[in-house]
């Protein structure tokens, strides 16, 4: 079945099966920032923005995206670059597998919470698991990035 | 130092956050056949009938493979140096399946739906056999997990499949029974650790293709590309020279990718069809059909004198290696070899036991590699001894633990799979680690507990740990440095970056040795065609062993540059000064940039390139002291981990920030094993906790604060004074937390994970007047 | 879950007509739990275009249409003001933000999930649901309601009442399902005690409520008695998350803490 989706600002037409998941559709379209992790919405590495809100693409039927807009980190490269510099400076980027979905969720968090505290950050990002870093370095990097963006 | 011991950002993180294709599946050939495996629904069964005709006839199916399609050539899947200390007990496909999730057949089709449909069309019948599901009764059980005549060990490791033994081991120093008799205080206890899952976020992924030269090229999310190449060659009887293994970016390994996973079947499919193929494990397959940590039971006896001197350690261990024996002996040995030397002043030690086969998911390598299990048992028992002796646990460690310049007879007796070598601790700041940690956590104020409300108690607990830095005389690493025009370098290394940052820290070592900056060292790693040998990312070998190889190469390249400049200046090499940028002799000078261009294009042209190798002659242990502060709800057993203080001695930190990341990541994984990660099997041998909804790793909400510091330490034999740091972080949390909980409410939990339910039920028992 | 056909309904009537065409047809809510199911569905029906996505606040109630996401509900300020925001708190504890942007009010209630952190606090307040065929009924009646015919949940209605509330979800890690969850409320001098994830579906401790609601004065002893009655009348069980005995201990503690909190008793 054909669906019309706006992906990172580009109009796309995908031919999908009724039980196809957005994760597979987008990866088949070379959007490699979206990753396969747990198959049942438990880990967060497949996060995309659906009309600006984070959702887990491994659990969203592609059909539901018809007529909507999807954003991935490929559509927020400047922001990802800024956050990745902070991650680099705090040693928060180990295997990197959770990083792009995390950056996207941080972007979404900024649109919902004005000056997030550390508790806000932990709560908003709780669905984005990381097995490498122990989380502390990531929180430091995110806070510093937000502070820097605030100052600008 | 200008580059080493600086907190420089990693060289490869940026592109990953920006979403650039870099992981194995991102690089798969888009026309790849999808390979799916038919997995056994029984813990133990014989395939009595397998008819693949309907599956093969399905449109879109390229090939269906069963045990009938392969010669019987046993190998081990363990990624270890050859000959491996693991039994060769696995066939590509066998007519027996030995755990729920074991491979029974494989299908390759044009897409996932077709492959899954084809699996259902395979007509398979099993004779269901009675399984061995209790590792405590596996030894000499009348049911044998392995009866194949062809399987064998590579050298004696105690392998005896007729007794369900994958391995067995015994060592002793002195006379432990006598020491115990002479001891004034004895502690005797049994401890159980669970089959922790790695839960690396990237599932096991592999893809293969035949390149235009007819060679098999494998892209695999692996920790050991060289071992993958060798095992594929052995298993499929295919020449090593026609196989290339490339490791792209890996989304976490922690030991779970230190063995082959889908590579064998994917390679078989590609070789037989000539087409590219790929396999991505589902998360369920990662849990059920890859590897887990070896669950163990420790029966421990400690003997001490009333003055607080530890006299004897007696330890019997049973380890469950599951259906196949990867890493069986080596993990077992590390449970003592990298734990017991912490108490080197004892009169006697005995460590022995069995590694048994069962019909469970196979166990394999996992960060800590036996040391975390051994640490939980020993450090818990030590605290029990402290309470019996009425001695502060910190003081007890300070009195009995190993110190700089000392040794332990265990080092000589126990290596990893073989004998070890004698080692004196040229760098050991354990005393500083303990002192500093107890200061930071405010031990004196808080030990053992403080009541903070009617229902909440605050308490502290601690544990010390050690690990190793590579396996001496076995782990070898090599590095190649090539000088380019414009004065920059290529660093080719076999060392495997799985996210721990080895590409970065090895580049830092190279840059320091070459006298240049990090941006001038371009790293290419883990391609068996283009990079020199390295055992891979395990045994905490990268910083120490690979690092020393890089250091050697860097120094040698630097000398080669000086020699060339000397030729240009027409002087002796020792008359040349070089700061990494400009070479001078008297009035003459030339920049590296100009020299490199001259060497490429103008005069006396040659390519400067050097390959250097290194193997360790010792394995200097990193050390750490872990202190935890908890708040415990005595009415519900819920535990809040307020702060975890880690003071680590890993010699020089090549990159203090990346080293901290290793420690912190390890601590949180250790906390997961200690408190949250439950492994549950049904009575019929089905793993219940087989997805991330049921198997829970720590989230951001569980971690309140981590305080991590490094001791000022220097290991002469290490590159720029460094020891390794990849594993040590994971070892202390289980014992530190068990000890803190005892300090809080007086209950001793001896099985992992320590759940709120176990704590509350133990409190209720205690109130009733139980233990 | 395997889906053969996907149907985008343009009205509730159309959706219902499709729903009853085949026994395996079902309504897709957010689809958050589809991956857990191995059913084969002839037609999955999407309600996106039937207009069930509004939140309407009146003087007496707040109405949430079935397609409103849990995240939208969680952020509803008017709901936060009721009973100390226990429903918002309960929903906030469900997985992460991304899942709550997918899961819908309709899907989460219709599923009658026993682990639900949404249903438990809702029961502690005055809440109703409206179904396409069966009409409007109290939430607690819907949970027991068994109908021969299929139905579609249209909206959730929360009455605006003054009251105090307490909610606690005992869980092991930040993302986990509840080992047990407890909601206690006090409104118009009447207590409600709800325990969910027992592991079975949330239920009232009716005898305990009757006992405490007949007391003139709430003392420490009365609370203890109430707790005792509650854990004796409610059925608890063992599963992979916890044993029956542990759940009983937890229920005692949290019901007691809840009653204390809403009555401001000293601990």
Residue of chain B with shortest Cα separation from A126: B700
What distance in Å separates the CA atoms of residue B559 and residue B553, rounded to the nearest whole number? 10
DSSP helix/strand/coil, B321: strand
The conformation of residue B165, written as its DSSP 8-state character, comes to E
Supply the pLDDT for residue C29.
83
Write down the residue that tokens 């599946």 correspond to: B25
Mutate to test the interface with A, among C96, C103, C107, C172 (most CBs of A within 10 A): C96
Q: Are residues A132 and A144 in the same domain?
A: yes
CA distance B368 to chain C (A): 23
Mutate to test the interface with C, among B757, B765, B768 (most CBs of C within 10 A): B757
Residues of C contacting chain B (CB within 8 angstroms): 36, 170, 172-177, 240, 242-243, 245-246, 249-250, 253-254, 267
pLDDT bucket at A146, cuts 50 / 70 / 90:
very high
Q: How many residues does chain C have?
A: 267
What distance in Å separates the CA atoms of residue B21 and residue A35, rounded to the nearest whole number? 10
How crowded is residue B705: how many other Cβ atoms within 10 Å of its Cβ? 11
Q: Do domains B28-129+201-252+257-289 and B296-471+618-768 have the same CATH topology?
A: no
**How many angstroms separate the Cα of B536 from the Cα of each of B349, B470, B496?**
32, 10, 5
- Give residues 67 to 86 of A whose Cβ lies within 8 Å of C: none
Supply the pLDDT for residue B688.
95
Residues of chain C with pLDDT under 50: 266-267
- ipTM at complex level: 0.97
Contacts of A100 in chain B (CB under 8 A): 16-19
Record: contact B254-A96, CB cut-off 8 A: no
Question: What residues does each domain of chain B span?
Answer: 28-129+201-252+257-289, 296-471+618-768, 476-615
Burial tier of B69 (Cβ tally within 10 Å: 0-12, 13-18, 19+): middle
Write down the residue that tokens 């060339």 correspond to: B564
CATH T-level fold of B476-615? Aldehyde Oxidoreductase; domain 4 (3.30.365)
The conformation of residue B674, written as its DSSP 8-state character, comes to I
Q: Which domain range does residue A105 map to?
A: 76-151
Contacts of C246 in chain B (CB under 8 A): 757, 760-761
The conformation of residue A7, written as its DSSP 8-state character, comes to E
What distance in Å separates the CA atoms of residue B299 and residue B630, rounded to the nearest whole number? 28
Quick one: how far is CA A106 from the chain centroid?
8
CA distance C60 to chain B (A): 37
CA distance C175 to chain A (A): 7
Mutate to test the interface with C, among A14, A15, A16, A18 (most CBs of C within 10 A): A18
A-B Cβ pairs (cutoff 8 Å, strict): 178
CA distance A58 to chain C (A): 8
Evaluate if pTM is beyond 0.80. Answer: yes
Backbone angles phi, psi at B655, to 5 degrees: -135, 100
DSSP helix/strand/coil, A123: helix
Supply the pLDDT for residue C39.
87
Q: How many residues does chain B have?
A: 771
Q: Which of A43, A84, A102 sits opposite B14 (nearest CB)?
A: A84
- Give residues 54 to 93 of A whose Cβ lies within 8 Å of B: 72-74, 77, 80-81, 83-85, 87-93
The conformation of residue B67, written as its DSSP 8-state character, comes to G
What distance in Å separates the CA atoms of residue C178 and residue B511, rounded to the nearest whole number? 52
Answer positive or negative: Cα dihedral of A106, A107, A110, A112: negative
Query: Which of A56, A74, A92 is the last residue in one of the domains?
Result: A74
With contact defined as beta carbons under 8 Å apart, do C106 and C88 qualify?
no
Contacts of C24 in chain A (CB under 8 A): none
Structure tokens at B111: 């897409």
Query: Regarding beta strands A69-71 and A47-50, do their DSSP bridges make them parallel or antiparallel, or are they unpaired?
Result: antiparallel
Does B17 contact C at CB distance below 8 Å? no
The conformation of residue B326, written as its DSSP 8-state character, comes to T
Edge to edge, the sheet with strand B277-280 lists B61-65, B103-109, B33-39, B277-280, B205-210, B216-220, B243-246
Q: Taking phi first (over 0 means left), then psi (-120 to 50 degrees means alpha), and beta for anything else, what does residue B32 get?
A: beta
Q: How many residues does chain A have?
A: 152
Q: What's the mean pLDDT when you consider all of chain A?
A: 95
Residue of chain B with shortest Cα separation from C243: B757
Supply the pLDDT for residue B770.
57
With contact defined as beta carbons under 8 Å apart, do C18 and C25 qualify?
yes
Q: Residue B534 contacts by C-beta under 8 Å, 6 or more apart in sequence? A: B226, B476, B477, B478, B493, B494, B495, B496, B526, B546, B549
Does B13 contact A at CB distance below 8 Å? yes
Contacts of C34 in chain A (CB under 8 A): 59, 61
CA distance A120 to chain B (A): 11
Residue of chain A with shortest Cα separation from C35: A40
Q: Residue B63 contacts by C-beta under 8 Å, 6 or more apart in sequence? A: B56, B107, B108, B269, B272, B273
- In DSSP terms, B34 is beta-bridged to B109, B278
The CATH number of the structural domain formed by C2-50 is 3.30.43
Query: Regarding beta strands C40-46 and C26-28, do their DSSP bridges make them parallel or antiparallel, or are they unpaired?
Result: parallel
Residue of chain A with shortest Cα separation from C42: A18
Burial tier of B736 (Cβ tally within 10 Å: 0-12, 13-18, 19+): buried
**How many angstroms separate the Cα of B708 from the Cα of each of B7, B442, B645, B649, C154?**
15, 15, 6, 11, 53
What distance in Å separates the CA atoms of residue C80 and residue B15, rounded to the nearest whole number? 42
Q: Which of C36, C243, C253 sits opposite B757 (nearest CB)?
A: C243
Residue A63 belongs to domain with CATH number = 3.10.20.30
Q: Are residues A145 and A104 in the same domain?
A: yes
Query: Which of A13, A40, A74 is the last residue in one of the domains?
Result: A74
Answer positive or negative: Cα dihedral of A98, A103, A108, A110: positive
Mutate to test the interface with B, among A78, A95, A109, A126 (most CBs of B within 10 A): A95
Supply the pLDDT for residue C78.
97
DSSP helix/strand/coil, B580: coil
Backbone angles phi, psi at C67, to 5 degrees: -90, 0
Strands (E), B444-539: 449-451, 456-466, 476-483, 489-493, 521-525
Supply the pLDDT for residue C267.
38
Q: Which of A41, A54, A66 sits opposite C32 (nearest CB)?
A: A41
CATH of B296-471+618-768, one of 1.20.1250.20, 3.30.365.10, 3.40.50.300, 3.10.20.310: 3.30.365.10
What distance in Å separates the CA atoms of residue B622 and residue B338, rounded to the nearest whole number? 10
Q: Are residues A62 and A107 in the same domain?
A: no
Per-residue buried b or exposed e for B116-139, using 16+ beta carbons within 10 Å of the residue's own CB? ebbbebbebebeebebbbebeebb
Q: Are residues A112 and A147 in the same domain?
A: yes
Instruction: Return the ∠ at Cα B424 (arms to B422 and B426), rounded to 5°.
Output: 145
Instruction: Give B310-360 pLDDT, tens digit per residue.
Output: 999 999 999 999 999 999 999 999 999 999 999 999 999 999 999 999 999
Contacts of A65 in chain C (CB under 8 A): none
DSSP H/E element including C57:
strand C55-57
N- to C-terminal Cα distance for chain A? 46
CATH T-level fold of B28-129+201-252+257-289? Aldehyde Oxidoreductase; domain 3 (3.90.1170)
Structure tokens at B711: 């001791």
The conformation of residue A15, written as its DSSP 8-state character, comes to E
Does B703 contact A at CB distance below 8 Å? yes
Q: Are residues A50 and A62 in the same domain?
A: yes
Record: contact B661-A94, CB cut-off 8 A: yes
Record: contact C98-A63, CB cut-off 8 A: no
Does pLDDT of A124 surpass 90? yes
Q: Which of C4, C36, C101 sits opposite A54 (nearest CB)?
A: C101
Q: Residue B27 contacts by C-beta under 8 Å, 6 or more apart in sequence? A: B21, B207, B219, B248
Supply the pLDDT for residue C35.
79
CATH of C164-263, one of 3.40.50.300, 1.10.645.10, 3.30.2270.10, 3.30.390.50: 3.30.390.50
Q: At how many degrees (to 10) do helices A136-151 and A77-90 cross? A: 130
Structure tokens at B80: 């270890």
Residue of chain C with shortest Cα separation from A57: C98
Question: What residues does each domain of chain C span?
Answer: 2-50, 55-159, 164-263
Answer positive or negative: Cα dihedral of B724, B729, B735, B736: positive
Question: What chains are in contact with A, requiring at least 3 Cβ pairs below 8 Å?
Answer: B, C
Residue of chain C with shortest Cα separation from B635: C253
Q: Are residues A12 and A35 in the same domain?
A: yes
The conformation of residue B59, written as its DSSP 8-state character, comes to T
What DSSP letter does each residue of B355-398 carry, written as one string? EEE-SSSPB---TTTTHHHHHHHHHHHHHHHHHHHT--HHHHHH
Residue A88 belongs to domain with CATH number = 1.10.150.120
CA distance B281 to chain C (A): 16
With contact defined as beta carbons under 8 Å apart, do B312 and B179 qualify?
yes
Does B140 contact C at CB distance below 8 Å? no
What distance in Å separates the CA atoms of residue B349 and residue B574, rounded to the nearest whole number? 54
Q: Residue B514 contacts by C-beta under 8 Å, 6 or more apart in sequence? A: B481, B489, B520, B521, B554, B557, B558, B580
Q: Residue A134 contacts by C-beta under 8 Å, 6 or more apart in sequence? A: B661, B664, B665, B666, B667, B668, B669, B703, B706
CA distance C172 to chain B (A): 7
Residues of chain B with pLDDT under 50: 771
Closest among B400, B297, B398 to B349, alpha carbons compared: B400
Contacts of B16 in chain A (CB under 8 A): 84, 93, 96-97, 99-100
Q: At how many degrees (to 10) do helices B502-514 and B547-569 cross? A: 30
Residue of chain B with shortest Cα separation from A19: B113
CATH T-level fold of C55-159? 3.30.465
Record: contact B703-A135, CB cut-off 8 A: yes
Q: Which of A42, A99, A131 sits opposite B17 (nearest CB)?
A: A99
């Amino acid at each position: 079945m054909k669906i019309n989706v706006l992906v990172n600002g580009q109009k796309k037409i995908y031919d999908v099966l009724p039980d196809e998941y957005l994760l597979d559709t987008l990866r088949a379209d070379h959007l490699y920032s979206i990753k396969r992790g747990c198959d049942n919405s438990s880990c967060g590495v497949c996060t995309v923005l659906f009309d600006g809100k984070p959702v887990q693409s491994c659990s969203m039927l592609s059909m539901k995206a018809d007529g909507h807009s999807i954003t991935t980190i490929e559509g927020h490269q400047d922001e990802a670059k800024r956050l990745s510099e902070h991650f680099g400076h705090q040693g928060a980027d180990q295997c990197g597998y959770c990083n792009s979905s995390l950056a996207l969720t941080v972007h979404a968090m900024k649109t919902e919470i004005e000056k997030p505290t550390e508790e806000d950050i932990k709560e908003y990002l709780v669905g984005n698991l990381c097995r490498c870093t122990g989380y502390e370095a990531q929180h430091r990097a995110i806070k510093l990035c937000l502070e820097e963006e605030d100052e600008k | 130092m200008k580059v080493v011991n600086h907190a420089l950002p990693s060289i490869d993180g940026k592109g990953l956050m920006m979403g650039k294709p870099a992981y194995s599946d991102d690089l798969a050939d888009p026309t790849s056949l999808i390979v799916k495996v038919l997995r056994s629904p029984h813990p133990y069964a014989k395939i009595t009938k397998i008819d693949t005709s309907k599956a093969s006839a399905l449109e879109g199916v390229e090939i269906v493979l069963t045990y009938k399609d392969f010669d019987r050539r046993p190998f081990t899947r363990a990624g270890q140096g050859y000959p491996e200390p693991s039994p060769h007990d696995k066939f590509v496909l066998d007519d027996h399946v030995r755990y729920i999730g074991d491979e029974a057949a494989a299908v390759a089709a044009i897409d996932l739906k077709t492959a899954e449909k084809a699996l259902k069309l395979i007509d398979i019948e099993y004779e269901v056999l009675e399984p061995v599901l209790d590792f405590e009764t596996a030894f000499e059980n009348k049911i044998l997990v392995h009866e194949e005549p062809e399987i064998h060990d590579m050298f004696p490791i105690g392998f005896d499949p007729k007794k369900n033994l994958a391995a067995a081991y015994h060592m002793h120093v002195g006379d432990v029974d006598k020491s115990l008799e002479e001891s004034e205080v004895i502690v005797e206890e049994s401890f159980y650790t669970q089959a922790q899952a790695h839960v690396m976020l990237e599932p096991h992924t592999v893809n293969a293709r035949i390149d235009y030269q007819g060679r098999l090229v494998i892209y695999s999310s692996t920790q050991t590309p060289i071992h993958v190449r060798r095992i594929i060659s052995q298993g499929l009887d295919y020449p090593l020279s026609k196989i290339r293994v490339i490791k792209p970016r890996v989304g976490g390994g922690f030991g779970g990718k230190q063995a082959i996973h889908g590579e064998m079947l994917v390679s078989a499919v590609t070789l037989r069809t000539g087409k590219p193929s790929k396999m991505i494990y589902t998360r369920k397959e990662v849990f059920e059909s890859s590897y887990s940590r070896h669950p163990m039971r420790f029966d421990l006896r400690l003997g001490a004198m009333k003055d607080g001197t530890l006299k004897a350690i007696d330890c019997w261990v049973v380890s469950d290696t599951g259906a196949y024996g990867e890493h069986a002996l080596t993990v077992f040995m590390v449970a003592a070899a990298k734990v017991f030397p912490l108490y080197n002043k004892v009169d006697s030690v005995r460590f022995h036991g069995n590694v048994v086969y069962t019909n469970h998911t196979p166990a394999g390598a996992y960060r800590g590699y036996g040391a975390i299990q051994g640490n939980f048992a020993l450090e818990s028992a030590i605290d029990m001894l402290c309470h019996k002796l009425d001695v502060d646990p910190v003081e007890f460690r300070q009195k009995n633990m190993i110190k700089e310049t000392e040794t332990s007879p265990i080092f000589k007796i126990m290596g990893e799979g073989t004998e070890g070598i004698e080692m004196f601790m040229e760098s050991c700041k354990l005393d500083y680690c303990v002192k500093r940690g107890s200061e930071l956590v405010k031990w004196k104020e808080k030990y053992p507990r403080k009541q903070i409300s009617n229902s909440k108690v605050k308490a502290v607990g601690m544990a010390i740990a050690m690990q190793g830095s590579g396996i001496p005389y076995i782990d070898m690493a090599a590095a190649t440095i090539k000088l380019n025009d414009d004065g920059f370098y290529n660093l080719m290394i076999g060392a495997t970056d799985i996210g721990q940052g080895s590409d970065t820290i090895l580049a830092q070592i190279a840059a320091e040795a070459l006298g240049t900056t990090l941006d001038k060292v371009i790293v290419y790693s883990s391609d068996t065609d283009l990079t020199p040998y390295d055992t891979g990312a395990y045994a905490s070998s990268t910083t120490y062993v690979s690092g020393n190889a890089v250091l050697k190469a860097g120094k040698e390249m630097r000398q080669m540059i000086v020699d060339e400049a000397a030729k240009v200046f027409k002087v002796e090499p020792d008359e040349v000064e070089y700061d990494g940028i400009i070479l001078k002799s008297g009035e003459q000078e030339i920049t590296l940039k100009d020299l490199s261009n001259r060497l490429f294009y103008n005069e006396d042209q040659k390519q400067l390139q050097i390959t250097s190798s290194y193997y360790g002659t010792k394995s200097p242990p990193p050390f750490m002291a872990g202190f935890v502060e908890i708040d415990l709800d005595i009415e519900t057993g819920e535990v809040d981990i307020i702060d975890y203080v880690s003071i680590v001695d890993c010699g020089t930190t090549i990159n203090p920030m990346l080293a901290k990341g290793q420690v912190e990541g390890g601590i949180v994984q250790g906390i997961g094993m200690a408190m949250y990660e439950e492994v549950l099997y049904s009575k019929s041998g089905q793993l219940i906790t087989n997805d991330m909804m049921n198997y829970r790793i720590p989230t951001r909400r569980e971690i309140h604060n981590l305080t991590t510091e490094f001791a000022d330490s220097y290991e002469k034999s290490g590159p720029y004074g460094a020891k390794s740091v990849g594993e040590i972080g994971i070892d202390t949390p289980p014992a530190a937390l068990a000890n803190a909980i005892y300090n809080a409410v007086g209950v001793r939990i001896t099985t992992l994970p320590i759940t709120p339910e176990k704590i509350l039920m133990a409190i209720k028992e205690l109130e009733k007047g139980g233990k | 879950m395997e889906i053969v056909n996907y149907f985008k309904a343009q009205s509730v009537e159309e959706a219902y007509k499709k729903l009853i065409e085949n026994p395996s047809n079902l309504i897709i809510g957010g689809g958050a739990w589809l991956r857990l199911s191995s059913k084969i569905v002839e037609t999955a029906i999407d309600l996106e275009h039937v207009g069930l996505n509004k939140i309407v606040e009146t003087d007496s109630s707040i109405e949430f249409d079935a397609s409103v996401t849990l995240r939208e509900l969680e952020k509803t300020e008017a709901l936060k003001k009721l009973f100390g925001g226990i429903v918002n708190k309960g929903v906030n504890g469900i997985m992460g933000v991304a899942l709550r942007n997918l899961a819908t009010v309709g899907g989460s209630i219709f599923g009658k999930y026993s682990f639900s952190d949404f249903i438990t606090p809702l029961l502690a307040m005055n809440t109703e649901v409206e179904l396409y065929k069966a009409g409007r009924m109290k939430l607690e009646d819907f949970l027991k309601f068994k109908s021969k015919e299929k139905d579609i949940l249209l909206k959730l209605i929360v009455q605006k009442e003054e009251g105090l509330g307490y909610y606690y979800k005992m869980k092991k890690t930040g993302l986990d399902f509840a080992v047990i969850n407890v909601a206690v409320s006090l409104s118009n001098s009447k207590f409600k005690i709800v325990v969910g994830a027992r592991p079975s579906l949330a239920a009232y401790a009716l005898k305990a409520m009757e006992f405490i609601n007949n007391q003139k004065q709430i003392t420490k002893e009365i609370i203890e008695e109430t707790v005792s009655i509650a854990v004796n009348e409610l059925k608890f069980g063992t599963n992979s998350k916890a044993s029956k005995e542990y759940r009983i201990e937890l229920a005692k503690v949290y019901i007691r803490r809840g009653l204390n909190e809403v009555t401001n008793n000293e601990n």
